[in-house]
């Protein structure tokens, strides 16, 4: 998983897209796409200009975790609906399951959507904070797609709460 750190670099320096555009000549569309991590690709020349402008290395310009994650719905052996998170790293593929059970709602009405994978917790904790945030956003989307809920749940990995909505 790779994220562009442009929005953080701009915030640290009190800059806006228009400021970077004026000083680098890089189009506002490209800058907006990079800052929102919506770009499908980036030219080396663009990265070079931005790294030079911000006086950072490409390693500081991009945040990286060696995993590519995908999310899909699965029906377990006992007919429970699950979210399966697949993490690919090189030739290695790991699958982690998140389950949902509204029978275990706490006193605030929250239900738990959790994985009992200690390995996934370690992978998550090794990610830089912005990548953790991105992973959590992807899980929120999967939860909405699979279970149809966008509120009143607690997302956790092996007891570590990632999100409470």
117 touches 123 (CB < 8 A): no
Same domain, 112 and 40: no
Same domain, 82 and 145: yes
The per-residue pLDDT for 107 is 65
Same domain, 114 and 157: yes
Binning pLDDT at 50, 70 and 90, where does residue 153 land?
A: confident
At 73-120, the pLDDT tens digits run: 999 888 889 999 999 999 999 999 999 766 555 666 677 889 999 999
The per-residue pLDDT for 106 is 61
Retrieve residue 48's tokens. Answer: 């070079």
1 touches 65 (CB < 8 A): yes
Q: What is the CATH number of the domain that holds 59?
A: 1.10.260.40
Among the candidates 49, 64, 79, a domain finishes at 64
Same domain, 25 and 104: no
How many structural domains compose the chain? 2
Between the alpha carbon of residue 21 and those of residues 40, 51, 84, the distances in Å are: 20, 14, 41
At 18-58, the pLDDT tens digits run: 999 999 999 999 999 999 998 788 999 999 999 999 999 99
Q: Which domain holds residue 43?
A: 2-64
Coil, helix or strand at residue 56:
coil
Binning pLDDT at 50, 70 and 90, where does residue 165 land?
A: confident
Query: C-alpha angle 43/49/3, rounded to 5°?
Result: 60
Residue 32: CB atoms within 10 Å: 15
Q: Which helix (H) or strand (E) holds 115?
A: strand 111-115
Residue linked to tokens 């290695």: 92
Binning pLDDT at 50, 70 and 90, where does residue 150 land?
A: confident
154 touches 136 (CB < 8 A): no
**Alpha helices for the chain (secondary structure H):** 6-13, 17-24, 28-35, 44-54, 58-61, 118-126, 129-147
């Amino acid at each position: 998983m790779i994220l562009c750190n442009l929005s953080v670099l701009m915030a640290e320096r009190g800059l806006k897209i228009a400021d970077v555009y004026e000083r680098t000549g890089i189009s506002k569309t490209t800058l907006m796409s990079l800052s929102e991590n919506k770009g499908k690709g980036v030219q080396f020349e663009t990265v070079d200009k931005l790294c030079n402008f911000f006086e950072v290395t490409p390693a500081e310009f991009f945040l990286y975790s060696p995993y590519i994650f995908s999310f899909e719905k699965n029906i377990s052996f006992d007919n429970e609906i699950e979210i399966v998170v697949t993490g690919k790293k090189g030739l290695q593929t790991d699958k982690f399951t998140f389950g949902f059970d509204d029978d275990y709602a706490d006193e605030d009405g929250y239900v738990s959507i959790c994985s009992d994978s200690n390995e996934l917790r370690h992978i998550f904790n090794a990610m830089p904070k912005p990548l953790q945030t991105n992973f959590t956003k992807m899980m929120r989307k999967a939860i909405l797609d699979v279970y149809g809920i966008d509120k009143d749940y607690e997302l956790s990995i092996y007891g570590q709460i990632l999100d409470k909505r």
